[in-house]
Structures are given as C-alpha cells and as structure tokens.
Chain A
C-alpha cells in the first residue's frame, strides 16, 4: 500500500516567531555577558542542559524502540529523529560552557585536594566531555543515517544494524551520562555529592523528551505530515509512558531526598536546605506539583491519555516543571541561594531555547520523509491498536 504523506509546511508567521524567539535568546545572552556574566552563563548552562536532555531523551526513545523490537511508535519515529538534531548544538553548548563560561564552576580556579582534585581537574573534565559528546553524536548520527537510508533502499538489514547500534548507544549512555551530569551540573557545588544524581537527571531528561515529543507529534498531526498517521492508540501509549516516567521521576526524587533527610549529614543536607530557604521553597514544591502531582491525577483516566488537547496541556505543564527543575538544580549553586534570582536574562534565554529548538527541529524534520516509509514494521505501527 503506497500512501502519500504531506510535507511539513510552515506559515511565514510561525517561522518568524521561532526565528525571533531564537534571536531574542541570543541577544539576551550577548547583552547579559556584558551586564551580568554570572547569570548569563548560568542561564546558558540551563538552556544547554535542557536542550541536551531533549536530544538525548529522543535518542533514548529511538534506541529503546529498536532494542525491544517495538513496532507501535515506528510511524512516529521521525519526530524523535528530528529532535536529535539539537544534539550537536547542545554538545557545542556544553563545550562552550566548560571552556568559555568556566567561571561558574568553582573548582576551575581553586585547587581541590585528594581524589576530588584528580577527578575535577580541569583538563580531565574537558577531555571527558569531548569524549562523551563525541560518542553520543557518533552513535545517534549513525542510527539516524541508517533509518533515513532505509527510506530509499528498503533494506531490512538496516533495521537489524540499527538494533545493534541502539544497544551500543544504550551501553555508552549508561556508562557516560551519570558522569556527565556529575561534571556539568553537580560540580557547581563541588563539596556535595549524591550517587543518585545521574539517575535523577536521566529520569528528568527522558520525561521532558517524551512530553516534547508528544506535543510535536500532535502539532505535526494538525500541520499535515502526521495526519492519518497519529491515532488515539499512539497517544494512549505516549500518555502511559509520560504517566509512568513522571512517577519514576518522583520516585527517584523522593528516594534521594528522603535518604539525605533521614541520615541528616550536614555535608549532604546543605544541597536541599539551599533549595528550600531564601524564597526557593515555593519553587521547590511547585517543581513536584508540575512534574508529577498534577500530571499524575490528570493522566489517570483513560480518555485523557487519548485526548490530544488534554495531553498537550499536561505536557506543557511538565515542560514548565522541567525548566523549574533545572533552574533549581543550577541557580542556587551557580548564582546564589540567598534569594531567588529571576529577571530579563533568565526569561529571555528561556524563551530563546524553544525558538532555537524549533528552528533546528523543523529543518531536520524536512530532511527525510515524515514517516519511515520503508521500515518493515511501519504497517504494524500504522494499524497499531491495544
């Protein structure tokens, strides 16, 4: 059965909105560097980690699907593939933050003693970062290249080789990502440590990517390319995954917090005290409400998970929660915990990030057919039902 799939056409106005948002973000950053460099770099790091999470989360979604041999999301795979387009930009952002914005990391200027000094020696951290992002880009690039090549060659062998590459990517991700989250975010407070940190970042990035993917898929259904492709059944499964990973995030959050609260070591509790005092308390609670509590109760009934309108609202709430989560992770350590710092520099770059993301997404989505037309599992995915 040959079906025609619509190309993605953007109205001039929509494109202009994305473009101007991105320009606004960039302009805020440049001006911020001159006026308030600490805040500009902290905000830059937030945007970078957030966008990196979108790309890596999308790549993980693709890899999970291949490794499990799951067919349900094959028809939607071009959405996460296009989301991965942000990865090179986010990787560049990480390197810029480490090389140019190094002033936000307290350990770059002082010499730390013992093994911490070895693990957080500047050249070692930068070297690791280069290796991590290179590995991620190589694996993700190879997977997407094969998926797109299959459109033309219809070679089922490419699905098999993507399955192997996906397994490789998952191993590489598992071995590197926790260290990356230590290096790039946790080390903003070099005296504090928690073994859960990498798992916490993983839970957040995957949830955020799922939420973004769901919004984008619903948008593309309205815009044309995924019309007659995305069904209520797909949405139901995405809704269940969001429900599950939102709860997983809360589980990880609670496990980390509870253990630190219970043991009550002064060297550990500081991290949370700094995020509950000085006006941060309401945000601390809002993070949990937006990322888990409200989505949990809204997503419980089956009809909600099958309703595009409701899903988009919940996903937007989760993405705001994700922003807040990164804000709470980075700002109290990098800018100061005495009071909540929010203003033009944070707002401008928070608006710029989705603009940049959408520009890259749209460009990448147009590089290939809107669905993987020659994937052997496409028909099963299009006819997917519970």
Chain B
C-alpha cells in the first residue's frame, strides 16, 4: 500500500531502538550522578520552596489577615492558585486514562511524567484551602466521622465539601494509577541495580514482579479498569471546582456553562504545563528520540482544541450576559473587559485565545522554541483566567459603597512562588529517582522488528 505510507506519520520512537536500548537510555540517567544543571535547578527550586515555607509559617503564626483580602473581595489569590493547580493536574489524567481508552499510542512517551505532574499539582492545590483554614491542624474536621463536636458537622450542601471529596478521590486514584504503571519499570530497575539500598527500595516497590504472562495479564486488566475509573474523574473534579463558583448567586460566577468550560480550561492549562516541562526534559535529558516533533505536535493539537473550547465559552458567556438584559450580569462582563482590572482580562484573552492560534501552523508546531514560548503564555493566561473570574466578579459588589480593589501582599506572592518551588522540586526529584518515560509501555510501540507496511 504505497498510498498508506504517504499519509502515515512514521515511527513513534526514532532511532530504530531495540527494547534493550530503551532500558539503557532511560535507566542510565538515573544511574549516573546528576549533571551540574540538575543541582543548579534543584537549588533554585529549593530556594523557592524555602521562601514559600517561610511565608506559610508566618501566615499560620500570624493569621490570614496577612493576605490582601477585604470585606468585598473575600476570595482572591489563594483560590486562584488552588484552581490553577488543580487544573494543571488534569492533563496527566487525560493523557494516562482518556488517551489510553482512545488507543493513542503516542501517550506512552509522556504519560509517566504527566501523571507525576498530576500528583504534584494536586499536592500544591491542596495546600491553599489548607492554609486558608487558618488553623490547618483542624483540617480533619472536614472528614465526616462520629465526633463529640456537637453541631459542628459537615455541611453536605456546600460545594466546598464536595470539593474536598473530589480532590481526595482524584489524588488517590491518580496515585494508584501512576504507581501501578510504575511497577514493571521498578522491576527493571531492581534487576539492573547493584546490591544496595536503591536495589532494595526498587525491589520493595516492584511487588515481586516476575514478568510472567499471568503477571502481565493481571497488570493490563487492572490498568484498563483504573483507566475506566479515572476517565470520569477528568470531568468530575474540575466540574466540582466550577461549582464552588457557579452555585453562588454572584454575577460572573453563576453561569451554567461553567462545568464543561472549567474542564476544557483545566486540560488546556495542564497540557501546556506538561508541554513546557517535557520540552525542557527532552532537551536536558536528551530524550529527542522519545519525545519527537510528532508527540509535541499531537499535544499542540490538543491545545488548539481545548483552547478553542475555552474561547467559545468566553464568547458564550459574554453574549449571554448581553442577551440576559440583566443589568448585573451585563455589568459583570463589561467590567471584566473595561473595568479597573481590565488588564487581567486582556492578558487572559491574549494568552488563551490569540497565542494558541499560532499552533495551527505546522512550522510553528515543529519549532520547539516557539512552542515553548506559547505554552508559557498559556500557563500565564490560564492563571489570569481564574484571577479574572474570581476577583473581577467580586470587587464590584451590588452596592457601589462596597466597591474596592484587590492587590496581593508579598506573603501571598511568596506562597505562590513556594507552590511553584514545591512543584518543581518534586518534579526534579522524580526525574532523578523514577524512570521519566514508561519503559514497559514504550517498548510496546517500538518500530524495531516490525516490517514497514
């Protein structure tokens, strides 16, 4: 079939690699001492984390009055960061679960790292509500269990409680999914390493994996079931996050399109973060044969699709607000675009709607530097999207006497920097101690030994 070759996209993994070469390529970076660039990177991210820790310690000791909130804007930086980080996690679940069910073989090169990012992002997200409690040592009050606190029982009608359950379920499933996928690779590490503590650790976590037919059969069954369980989570988690806002009666928050719009936005932001980090990892860890322009191109196309959905949601919201003839709705949206915080709105539109349009061009998709810049823009834009939704809807109250502004204090900024520090530190440690690419899965999509047809 000469014609079939003409439109096929070539091998997924370049360099005609054998399974043995894959193992060597991926494991060797874990076995040698880290490069100076890794030490520099972890020193940098560690400092960010330290700054964050200092800020968190200070605000817990002093109280959340150290934030820039006021009576009108009672929710701002913390919840923006929370929603931002939860969103980042979504691409991992999309790649690992949804694309698995859709038989997208290219996912094998990026799923391990993307799932790791999901877990780290959810950890970062969880910090913010925890800090916002003011007394985080009472966080267990969120859990419904028989207690002696009298009427202090959980309000099950509050979306914030649903959120607690959604996020903790999400974390659990994502972690189990990630770990199950890791087991065969842990066994590979165990078999390669010389006797020592690392071999013992890898041996413990590989759960006695012996590579037999039965073991693989069980593994694949579990993997498929977990993918099926994780797929609804891609939708449910950010749906419930959107309900934190949409169940309210605040113009700009209460709008029915919010659930699918938040889900699309979450995948959009998460995919751009995955792409940003994978482009760096590809370069520094010399993974060009594994993460090829084809993988980057596929992720860029997901960015175009989800970015398009987000853009249509912006448009729908705006036009519907005008259509509603409800002056508060109309004002909320006009105020976003033309009010005192309009700069944040236009950053959002520029980064989320305009910049991804570059990715329509194949020349752009295959230029890694440009793709990297676009993904950074999207990361910024998606942070601002949450800021726009949350702060601009609040800072203009029904009563003009309540109108106010909002500016974050350095404590809040340091906490955000600290969450990035935590995320990057965890990611760098992950790159050092865990195979960044799912070796067992990549071996299944090699072109070596397959005749071209």
A residues in contact (CB < 8 Å) with B: 69, 112-116, 119-120, 154, 156, 159-160, 170-171, 174-175, 178-179, 182, 193-199, 247, 251-252, 255-256, 258-260, 262-263, 265, 267, 376-377, 379-380, 386
Instruction: Point out the residue from B9, B239, B320 that lies within 8 Å of A195, measured CB to CB.
Output: B320
Q: Offer 8 A-B interface pairs, CB within 8 angstroms, sorted by A.
A: A116-B324, A174-B309, A174-B312, A194-B256, A251-B259, A256-B256, A376-B7, A377-B4
Contact A376/B257 with A115-B330, A259-B243, A262-B247 known, Cβ cut-off 8 Å: no
In the complex, chain B residues whose CB is within 8 Å of the CB of A69: 7, 9
Decide if the interface of chain B is mainly helix, strand, loop or mixed. Answer: helix
- Whether A199 lies near B260 (C-beta < 8 A) is yes
Nearest residue (CB) in B for A157 is B6
For the complex of A and B, the 4 pairs showing the least CB-CB separation, nearest first, are A195-B257, A196-B256, A255-B259, A115-B322
In the complex, chain B residues whose CB is within 8 Å of the CB of A115: 322-323, 325, 330
Nearest residue (CB) in A for B260 is A199
In the complex, chain A residues whose CB is within 8 Å of the CB of B320: 182, 193-195
In the complex, chain A residues whose CB is within 8 Å of the CB of B235: 251
B interface size (C-beta, 8 A): 37
- Whether A263 lies near B322 (C-beta < 8 A) is no
A193-B323, A255-B260, A265-B254 are known contacts; what are 15 more A-B pairs with Cβ within 8 Å?
A: A69-B9, A115-B322, A116-B323, A116-B325, A119-B319, A119-B323, A170-B308, A252-B259, A255-B239, A259-B243, A259-B259, A262-B247, A267-B326, A379-B4, A380-B4
Q: Is B258 on the interface with A (CB-CB < 8 A)?
A: yes
- Per-residue CB contact flags for chain B residues 9-44 toward chain A (1 = under 8 Å, else 0) read 100000000000000000000000000000000000
Give the Cβ gap from A302 to chain B, nearest Cβ, in Å.
11
In the complex, chain A residues whose CB is within 8 Å of the CB of B1: 376, 379
Nearest residue (CB) in A for B232 is A247
Kindly identify, within residues 285 to 326 of chain B, every residue whose CB is under 8 Å from any CB belonging to chain A.
Answer: 308-309, 312-313, 315-317, 319-320, 322-326
Q: Is B118 on the interface with A (CB-CB < 8 A)?
A: no
Q: Is B249 on the interface with A (CB-CB < 8 A)?
A: yes
Q: Is B3 on the interface with A (CB-CB < 8 A)?
A: yes
Nearest residue (CB) in B for A192 is B324
> A115 vs B257: C-alpha distance in the bound complex, in angstroms?
21
- Per-residue CB contact flags for chain B residues 245-268 toward chain A (1 = under 8 Å, else 0) read 011110000111111100000000
Contact A113/B3 with A259-B256, A263-B248, A265-B249 known, Cβ cut-off 8 Å: no
Contact A179/B319 with A154-B3, A171-B308, A195-B256 known, Cβ cut-off 8 Å: yes
Give the Cβ gap from B232 to chain A, nearest Cβ, in Å.
8
> A288 vs B333: C-alpha distance in the bound complex, in angstroms?
34
Nearest residue (CB) in A for B254 is A263
Contact A252/B247 with A116-B325, A193-B323 known, Cβ cut-off 8 Å: no
- Whether A255 lies near B325 (C-beta < 8 A) is no
Give the Cβ gap from A57 to chain B, nearest Cβ, in Å.
18
> A379 vs B309: C-alpha distance in the bound complex, in angstroms?
34
> A171 vs B305: C-alpha distance in the bound complex, in angstroms?
9
Give the Cβ gap from B380 to chain A, nearest Cβ, in Å.
24
Give the Cβ gap from A211 to chain B, nearest Cβ, in Å.
20
> A159 vs B4: C-alpha distance in the bound complex, in angstroms?
11
Nearest residue (CB) in B for A198 is B316
In the complex, chain B residues whose CB is within 8 Å of the CB of A252: 259-260
In the complex, chain A residues whose CB is within 8 Å of the CB of B308: 170-171, 174
In the complex, chain A residues whose CB is within 8 Å of the CB of B246: 259, 263
- Whether A376 lies near B3 (C-beta < 8 A) is yes
Nearest residue (CB) in B for A386 is B103
In the complex, chain B residues whose CB is within 8 Å of the CB of A196: 256-257, 259-260
> A258 vs B243: C-alpha distance in the bound complex, in angstroms?
10
- Per-residue CB contact flags for chain B residues 206-246 toward chain A (1 = under 8 Å, else 0) read 00000000000000000000000000100100010001001
